[in-house]
Amino acid sequence: MRAFQVTSHEKAPQIAEIPAPTPKAGEVLLDIAACGLNFADLLMSKGTYQDTPALPFTLGMEVCGTVIAQGPGVTSPAIGARVVVFGGAGGLADQGVFPAGRCILVPDTLSSAAAAGFMIAYGTSHLALSRRAQLQPGETLLVLGAAGGVGLTAVEIGKAMGATVIAVARGADKLQAARDAGADHLIDSTAADLKSAVKALGGADVVYDPVGGDQFNAALGACNPEARVLAIGFASGDVPQVPANILLVKNISVIGFYWGGYLKFNPAALTQSLQTLLAWQVEGRLNPHISDEFPLSQAADALELLRSRKSIGKVVVTP
């Protein structure tokens, strides 16, 4: 079968022909229909991600596919079931083996492409906003990178939780996507003094930041007393250094959040969150946005689109 593999952190990943895997105890074999890409895939290919597998490995953290074989002791999900699963790696391939216990049945309301891009983006925003930041109805949520894969979901979920949402993105097309997702106020990151613009709108009670860099610093300066700043990621490539004196004077909290970490210390929190999100999607409260779909043969192009930060919503590869 084909797999998009990393064989060296100094070389670009390549399509390789490898033997089809066989599920072991506790695993299922999926015929992969779609794989959602994440910024972590870029870091993993360079060996700088916190959970980078040993070489060689196949990229692709989250997948949707059909169960075609069960390992010893596995009775669920059934053969023929369409499921979504966070595997951490192995998704950019024709087939893959994944833990059966992590598989979640996909409702008929979700296409395979949308399901493949659902878990990490929506799961990150929901658990970060509800569990870590404890966003309350009526508060103001500032979303940086609001047209990206996780940013759009933060806008949607923030609105679903009753917040007023300020979306920051680059250019008219990305701002329109944020408006379509429910944003109340829009700020162009290339044209505005971000700190002044947010303060003119009343300041931020919660900041959702997958960008880092200068935008983090500007957002910190626009925080209201007792604001919570969520450090989601650093797509800018600049990890900000937090001035503790500002935290002290304004009683601000900076909160780290890593969705995948919950698999190790509280997987039940992830499961409960995803069940809530899938119920919201069935009810029509969430509308997953797929920016682009690529065949497996163009997985390198898909990653480059993600690296360039030109996508709006999720980028998905469909083997």
Residue 279 lies in a domain: no
Query: Which of 213, 242, 260 delimits the end of a domain?
Result: 260
pLDDT at 180 over 90: yes
Please report, rounded to a whole number, the percentage of residues in the chain having pLDDT higher than 90.
90
pLDDT at 215 over 90: yes
pLDDT at 310 over 90: no
Residues 193 and 297 in one domain: no
Q: What is the bridge-based pairing of β-strands 314-317 and 290-294?
A: parallel
CA angle 109, 112, 115 (to 5 degrees): 70
CATH value at residue 40 = 3.90.180.10
Token readout for 48 is 């700088």
User: Which pLDDT does position 122 carry in this prediction?
Assistant: 96
pLDDT at 304 over 90: yes
User: Which pLDDT does position 124 carry in this prediction?
Assistant: 96
Q: Which helix (H) or strand (E) holds 100?
A: none
Residue 131 lies in a domain: yes
pLDDT-derived band at 163, boundaries 50, 70, 90: very high
Residue 9 lies in a domain: yes
User: Which pLDDT does position 313 carry in this prediction?
Assistant: 87
Residues 246 and 292 in one domain: no
Residues 107 and 138 in one domain: no
pLDDT at 225 over 90: yes
Residue tagged 């650093």 (tokens): 234
Top mean pLDDT of 136-140, 146-150, 286-290 is at 136-140
Residue pair 253/205 in contact by the 8 Å Cβ criterion:
no
Please report, rounded to a whole number, the percentage of residues in the chain having pLDDT higher than 70.
100
Residues 91 and 155 in one domain: no
Residues 158 and 69 in one domain: no
Residue 283 lies in a domain: no
pLDDT at 244 over 90: yes
Residues 253 and 144 in one domain: yes
Closest CA to 312 of 289, 285, 293: 289
CB count in 10 Å sphere of residue 162: 12
Query: Which of 240, 260, 280 delimits the end of a domain?
Result: 260
Tell me the residue range of the domain where 70 lies.
Answer: 2-118+288-317
Residue 266 lies in a domain: no
Q: In what order do the strands lie in the sheet with 14-17?
A: 14-17, 2-6, 57-58
Query: Which of 219, 242, 260 delimits the end of a domain?
Result: 260
pLDDT-derived band at 300, boundaries 50, 70, 90: very high
Residues 111 and 125 in one domain: no
pLDDT-derived band at 166, boundaries 50, 70, 90: very high
Residues 176 and 76 in one domain: no
Q: What is the bridge-based pairing of β-strands 62-70 and 27-36?
A: antiparallel
The phi and psi torsions of 225 (rounded to 5 degrees) equal: -55, 140
User: Which pLDDT does position 186 carry in this prediction?
Assistant: 98
Residues 210 and 296 in one domain: no
CATH value at residue 187 = 3.40.50.720
Helix axes 267-282, 119-127, angle to 10 degrees: 110
Residues 195 and 133 in one domain: yes
Give SS3 for 204.
strand
User: Which pLDDT does position 42 carry in this prediction?
Assistant: 95
Residue pair 103/77 in contact by the 8 Å Cβ criterion:
yes
Q: What does the pLDDT average to over 308-313? A: 88
pLDDT at 68 over 90: yes
User: Which pLDDT does position 70 carry in this prediction?
Assistant: 98
Q: What does the pLDDT average to over 3-16? A: 97
**Into how many domains does the chain fold?**
2
Residue 83 lies in a domain: yes
Residue 268 lies in a domain: no
Residue 272 lies in a domain: no
Residues 90 and 141 in one domain: no
Residue pair 209/216 in contact by the 8 Å Cβ criterion:
yes
CB count in 10 Å sphere of residue 53: 15
Distances (CA, A) of 106 to 38, 93, 265, 278: 20, 20, 25, 9
Residues 74 and 101 in one domain: yes
Sequence-separated (6 or more) residues with CB below 8 Å from residue 279: none
pLDDT-derived band at 81, boundaries 50, 70, 90: very high
Residue pair 126/157 in contact by the 8 Å Cβ criterion:
yes
